[in-house]
Structure 1
Amino acid sequence: MTARRLAVVTGAASGIGNATVRRLAQQGWTVGALDLDRRTVRAATADLGHAVIPLAADVSDFRTVRWELERFMHQASATRLDLLVNSAGLLYMGHFEEQAATGIELVLAVNNAGVAHCCQAAFPWLRSCAQAGGRPAVVNLSSASSVAGIPSMAVYSASKFWVRGFTEALSVEWSRFGIAVRDVMPPFVRTPMLDGRQQNRFIALLGVTLTADDVAREVLKAAEGGPLHRLVTFNFKAACALVRVTPGRWVRALLAVIGGYATGPG
């Protein structure tokens, strides 16, 4: 009988994280569903039964993340972790100069430090999985905004550049342990993160065609193998190919026009 595989998913109470938890549970995984509030996670996954173990931690706090992962492994009676999905993230849209300093700190704490903390906390069990002959993986949620800096999303876009770079570096480092590290890069996704933000010029132009479950499917594919950066949707792949061969100043000029920043001072 094949041993039940174990995964930890952050940002599990809603959006892509919740959709990923559901797909994993439905495929027979035991999932540690981690978010800020245990009751919220429990309510969001109640229909999945014992396949899901609710976890509560602020991903920007390494000690609480480590504690919850230890509790999960103990409760699951396991010593190896097959998959870590870093889905927790925050988004700010608007002029950079209007974003509060505390908001900047929070976006970077969750989107960047949180990813690093979760990877470091999960490492011992991911390595144990590889040592036991498994194929452990880390899948980070990056974004289409990691291809070019997006005006009106400066801090968020930069945070996803960080995720992309971190993924590339860690995939090299952890290959010596047999741990795969990949990311998924979707354009706009219909999740609570975009609620009330449809007036953003990029959203208005490009639209929101992806659901959280669409991206969750790509996350599961990334867990099993494939490219280092998994780009979601044909249109986004085509846009990336175009960006690679287009002079940067032209790309920035186009983004300025789309974002409404092309008029200059005054």
Structure 2
Amino acid sequence: MTLRKSIFITGGGSGIGRAVAQRFAREGWFVGLGDIDQAGMEETASLLPEGASFIHRFDVREPEGWDTALAAFAEAAGGRINVLANNAGVPLGGSLHDLTREEIDRTLAINLNGVIYGARAAYPYLKAAAPDACLINTSSSAAFHGQAGMTIYCASKFGVRAITESLDIEWSRDGIRVCDVMPGFIDTPLLAHTSHAASNVSVRERVVATGLEFTPVEEVAETFWRAVHGGKMHNPVGKIAHTLARASRWTPSYIRYRARKMLAAGLRPMG
């Protein structure tokens, strides 16, 4: 009997995580959903084929929670985990001096520590599944170049990019592929929140004000599928991400110039 391939997705209760779950389930994969939002995960599971999903509520900031979640998923999946999608994350914008210590610590704990804890906990499962194994992290177009009003968010996503690059080398001897997906702005429920506690304007409103476009979440999910089965380490998604990827490589000074012009005009992507 051939076991179905399996993927465990954090942030599976909505947005990118939900779209990725649907994309992999369509191909017959067994999908694990991890989130702090129980209702959201149940809604995602209801959109998947019967018997194709597993739900486990936990907080990615807690290493012990990771151990419990992956052990339970591996048992449900027949002892095998092929892919971990480190996708859980939160937005945070605003000038650094306007941010609270709690906002800073929470963002770094979820966006950065959560990815580290997930990779560490998943390693033995992925090693056992190699060479048919992959760690895929959700980074961001914000990992190409720092932006005003996005200091902490950029720091967290630059960190995810560094984790991806480091583990791609470190785990190559174990036959585990490591890659990331780097979207621009995605219109998910997270953008309905204000950029930080001192603001009463949602992230979505600020993106619209800058004239930037949203990338369809389905396009991000398709990129996840290609990334898991492809050979690229960094996988930009959407016009913004591709533009920043090219510019950061060939004309980084232009990005800095444009960012300063936006700041002078009172426009910040997330601030």
Same fold at TM > 0.5: yes
**Displacement, 1:68?**
1.2
User: What are the Cα deviations for residues 155-195 of structure 1, in whole angstroms up to 9, with x where unaligned?
Assistant: 00111100111100000000010000001111111111222
Partner of 2:197: none
**Displacement, 1:20?**
0.5
TM-score calculated relative to the size of structure 1: 0.90
Partner of 2:235: 230
Letter in 1 for 2:204: Q
**Displacement, 1:234?**
4.8
Partner of 1:144: 141
Structure 2 distance, partners of 1:115, 1:173, is 16
**Displacement, 1:42?**
1.5
Q: Superposition pairs for residues 92-107 of structure 1, below 5 Å?
A: 92-107=92-107
Is residue 215 of structure 2 the alignment partner of residue 210 of structure 1?
Answer: yes
Structure 2 distance, partners of 1:96, 1:231, is 27
Is residue 224 of structure 2 the alignment partner of residue 219 of structure 1?
Answer: yes
Is residue 258 of structure 2 the alignment partner of residue 254 of structure 1?
Answer: yes
User: What are the Cα deviations for residues 69-108 of structure 1, in whole angstroms up to 9, with x where unaligned?
Assistant: 1111122332x21111111001112222111110100100
Structure 1 distance, partners of 2:15, 2:182, is 15
Q: Superposition pairs for residues 3-152 of structure 1, below 5 Å?
A: 3-48=3-48, 49-78=50-79, 80-130=80-130, 134-152=131-149
Question: Structure 1 residues 247, 67: closer, same or farther in 2, change over 3 A?
Answer: closer
Which stretches in structure 1 are left out of the alignment for 5+ residues? Answer: none
Partner of 2:196: none
Letter in 1 for 2:225: L
Letter in 2 for 1:86: N
**Displacement, 1:40?**
3.2
Letter in 1 for 2:135: V
Q: What's the Cα RMSD here?
A: 1.8
Is residue 185 of structure 2 the alignment partner of residue 185 of structure 1?
Answer: no
Q: Is the contact between residue 59 and residue 65 of structure 1 (CA under 8 Å) also seen in structure 2? A: yes
Q: Is the contact between residue 191 and residue 211 of structure 1 (CA under 8 Å) also seen in structure 2? A: no
Structure 1 distance, partners of 2:31, 2:252, is 44
Q: Which of 160, 164, 170 is the matching residue for 2:161?
A: 164
Structure 2 distance, partners of 1:243, 1:69, is 36
Partner of 2:204: 198
* Aligned-partner SS, 1:50: coil
Identical pairs, percent: 33
* Aligned-partner SS, 2:56: strand
Question: Structure 1 residues 40, 232: closer, same or farther in 2, change over 3 A?
Answer: closer
Q: Is the contact between residue 184 and residue 239 of structure 2 (CA under 8 Å) also seen in structure 1? A: no
User: What are the Cα deviations for residues 225-247 of structure 1, in whole angstroms up to 9, with x where unaligned?
Assistant: 13110112355324432332325
* Aligned-partner SS, 1:58: coil
